[in-house]
Amino acid sequence: MEPGPAAARGPGWRGAAAPAPAAAAAVAAVAAVLPAGGSGERMGVPTPKQFCPVLERPLISYTLQALESICWIKDIVVAVTGENMEAMKGIIQKYQHQRISLVTAGVTRHRSIFNGLKALAEDQPDSKLSKPEVVIIHDAVRPFVEEDVLLKVVTAAKEHGAAGAIRPLVSTVISPSADGCLDHSLDRARHRASEMPQAFLFDVIYEAYQQCSDYDLEFGTECLQLALKYGHVHAKLVEGSPDLWKVTYKRDLYAAESIIKERISQHICIVMDTKDENHVGHHLEEILKNELNHVKVTSGALCPAGRDLEQIILEQCYSYVCVNVMSSDFEKTRRLLNMLEESNLSILYPIVVISVYFLDYKSVPFDQKMENLMQIKEYAKEVKKRNILLCGLLIYYPQVFCSGKTMQLLMEEQNLQASLRQGATIIATLIKERNSGLVGQLLVA
Ligand SMILES: Nc1ccn([C@@H]2O[C@H](COP(=O)(O)OP(=O)(O)OP(=O)(O)O)[C@@H](O)[C@H]2O)c(=O)n1
Ligand SMILES: O=P(O)(O)OC[C@@H](O)[C@@H](O)[C@@H](O)CO
């Protein structure tokens, strides 16, 4: 077994690990076993699905991050095949996962889980981990597991001996006859789908696996059934959320990527160095707030010393709009990128940085400014290596607003509003899609 290094953090992590909720603190010790030794045949690709990339990061890393962000889970045991052991160690190292121990998977899911439990049992010669009171079993390919459902199944397992998450059935379950016709169907309203996480008093599930028949180890798919059959324990069933589904087919990877993109696009920070309420950046901020319901739009300054910006970075914001007015240099953007790189924020999720230039590109000669703006291509290539997606956005900002010539002011006001609305639409799309194919591009509103 290989313990892993210190952890990286992602959305949902708030600085020092949150204190354990009272109910969890009532459980003496909790560990988790993650079966991750499958081949992912139904995914239809050579790479086992737990290692398939989602936003250029292996799927299993999201599940590890979800579990390691919960401070009352003391140890996480992951079962992987021998041929994937080095790859798994590399993932733990790259994403700085913590409290991870690796064991060799079995040829079936139940055998993998059993190997994970043996690592936690103190009756094994090479066991380095202490036996938990309660053990969580969770498929490594179910990345969207939240603390509340884990706490519910752990608390229920302490009382009942076993507990598992369930979901309403989407399709009706039927039983075919030998000749391939309908024999009977089950009343869908009286049945549920068994999902994960599940939790057990360690002794209940470990003894069940030790008594388990070879047939059950080979063909079984339900841990709760083992606790019932061999331990006479009727597991408590806990309603789970829709996001607990198991990534099984390719479509599930697309769904997982969409959910992750949606989650990290919920907060946009407008970076500008002014408190002037009439600053055009504040108009852009207002339009973004109106365009994007349920998205938090805040503003942060790079100086003095970017203190409030540092707080926004700590709050795990992954989307930044850096506002430059009547300038085409990179100084502001460069300083923002330096702060983001120092924060290590982009280890877990791609950060989008949009460098916005308000320029009167209809009346100001383009040559010099354009040359500066084209630097973005090279700069973007550089920061892409650190998972930062940088692109530029040119928003038409008539000079009349600077010279204050009121006679044209009204005429140009509508043009500016149109540009700001189009700019906000482009910003929203770039942040939502997080398409690495657009890095280094200069878009025009
Ligand atoms: N011998 C096995 C088989 C499966 N699993 C794990 O059990 C979980 C759920 O299993 P499943 O979705 O069936 O994964 P695969 O067996 O990889 O998928 P398939 O049946 O499509 O091959 C996955 O995290 C998988 O890696 C495991 O640890 N050991
Ligand atoms: O059979 P699979 O390996 O695809 O899935 C294993 C489990 O996730 C599945 O059986 C759930 O119903 C929970 O027990």
Q: Where are the domains of the chain?
A: 22-259, 267-444
Instruction: Compute the distance between CA of residue 5 and CA of residue 347 in angstroms, rounded to an integer.
Output: 14
Q: Per-residue pLDDT tens for 244-276?
A: 999 999 999 999 999 999 999 999 999 988 777
CA of 338 to the centre of ligand 2 (A): 45
49, 166, 205, 246: residue to mutate for ligand 2 pocket, most atoms within 8 A of CB:
246
Higher pLDDT, 223 or 344: 223
Reported confidence tier of residue 241, pLDDT bands at 50, 70, 90: very high
CA of 108 to the centre of ligand 2 (A): 11
Is the pLDDT at 5 greater than 50, yes or no?
Answer: no
Reported confidence tier of residue 6, pLDDT bands at 50, 70, 90: very low
How are the residues of the chain apportioned to helix, strand and coil, as percentages rounded to the nearest 5?
A: 45, 20, 35
**Do residues 444 and 394 lie in contact, with contact meaning Cβ atoms separated by under 8 Å?**
yes
**Do residues 44 and 146 lie in contact, with contact meaning Cβ atoms separated by under 8 Å?**
no
424 lines ligand 1 (CB under 6 A): no
Q: For the residues of 14-82, what is the DSSP string, one character each?
A: -SSPPPPPHHHHTSS-EEEEEE-----GGGTSSS-GGGSEETTEEHHHHHHHHHHT-TTEEEEEEEE-G
139, 219, 247, 252: residue to mutate for ligand 2 pocket, most atoms within 8 A of CB:
139
Peptide bond into 197 cis (omega under 30): yes
Ligand 1 atom closest to Cα of residue 49: 17
389 lines ligand 1 (CB under 6 A): no
Question: By mean pLDDT, which of 62-76, 178-192, 312-326 is the weakest?
Answer: 312-326
37 lines ligand 1 (CB under 6 A): yes
| Confidence (pLDDT) at 2 | 47
Question: Long-range contacts: 310-314, Cβ < 8 Å, 24+?
Answer: 310/339, 312/269, 313/339, 313/340, 313/343, 313/345, 314/15, 314/343
Reported confidence tier of residue 145, pLDDT bands at 50, 70, 90: very high
282 lines ligand 2 (CB under 6 A): no
41 lines ligand 1 (CB under 6 A): yes
Ligand 2 atom closest to Cα of residue 142: 8
Instruction: Compute the distance between CA of residue 349 and CA of residue 353 in angstroms, rounded to an integer.
Output: 13
First to last CA, the chain: 55
Tell me, rounded to whole angstroms, the distance of Cα 439 from its chain centroid.
Answer: 21
> Which-ligand-closest: CA of 44?
1
Q: Per-residue pLDDT tens for 306-342?
A: 668 888 888 899 999 999 876 767 888 998 999 999 9
CA of 169 to the centre of ligand 2 (A): 14
Reported confidence tier of residue 23, pLDDT bands at 50, 70, 90: low
**What's the Cα-to-Cα distance from 397 to each of 42, 152, 409, 415, 427, rounded to whole Å?**
53, 54, 12, 8, 16
> Which-ligand-closest: CA of 219?
2
Class of domain 22-259: alpha beta
On the CB side of 295, CA atoms within 13 Å amount to 30
- Beta-strand runs (E) in 154-263: 162-168, 174-176, 182-185, 192-201, 236-239
CA of 221 to the centre of ligand 2 (A): 5
Amino acid at 195: E
Kindly state the tokens that stand for 69: 């962000």
> Which-ligand-closest: CA of 60?
1
**In the structure, how many helices (H) and strands (E) does the chain have?**
15, 17
| Confidence (pLDDT) at 411 | 61
Instruction: Compute the distance between CA of residue 327 and CA of residue 342 in angstroms, rounded to an integer.
Output: 26
Ligand 2 atom closest to Cα of residue 246: 8
**What's the Cα-to-Cα distance from 416 to each of 61, 364, 408, rounded to whole Å?**
44, 16, 12
Reported confidence tier of residue 366, pLDDT bands at 50, 70, 90: low
Residue whose C-alpha is closest to residue 94's, from 116, 67, 65, 69: 65
Which residues touch 65 (CB under 8 Å, ≥6 apart)? 7, 8, 9, 10, 95, 97, 348
Is the pLDDT at 204 greater than 50, yes or no?
Answer: yes
Residue whose C-alpha is closest to residue 108's, from 225, 216, 224, 249: 216
CA of 62 to the centre of ligand 1 (A): 17
Is the pLDDT at 291 greater than 60, yes or no?
Answer: yes
Name the DSSP class of 208.
Answer: H
Is the pLDDT at 401 greater than 60, yes or no?
Answer: no
Fold annotation for 267-444: Rossmann fold (3.40.50)
Reported confidence tier of residue 219, pLDDT bands at 50, 70, 90: very high
Residue 44 main-chain phi, psi, to 5 deg: 75, 20
50 lines ligand 2 (CB under 6 A): no
Q: Residue 440: left (phi > 0), alpha (psi -120 to 50), or beta?
A: left
Q: What percent of the chain has pLDDT over 70?
A: 88
CA of 142 to the centre of ligand 1 (A): 11
Give residue for tokens 């063909």.
219
**What's the Cα-to-Cα distance from 431 to each of 48, 59, 319, 437, rounded to whole Å?**
29, 21, 6, 13
Is the pLDDT at 58 greater than 80, yes or no?
Answer: yes
Highest mean pLDDT of the ranges 24-33, 265-274, 322-331, 380-389? 380-389
Beta bridge partners of 269: 298, 320
> Which-ligand-closest: CA of 36?
1
| Confidence (pLDDT) at 346 | 93
**Do residues 35 and 63 lie in contact, with contact meaning Cβ atoms separated by under 8 Å?**
no
Residue whose C-alpha is closest to residue 389's, from 429, 436, 422, 424: 436
Instruction: Compute the distance between CA of residue 351 and CA of residue 316 in angstroms, rounded to an integer.
Output: 10
Is the pLDDT at 164 greater than 70, yes or no?
Answer: yes
Q: Whose CA is nearest to atom 11 of ligand 2?
A: 195
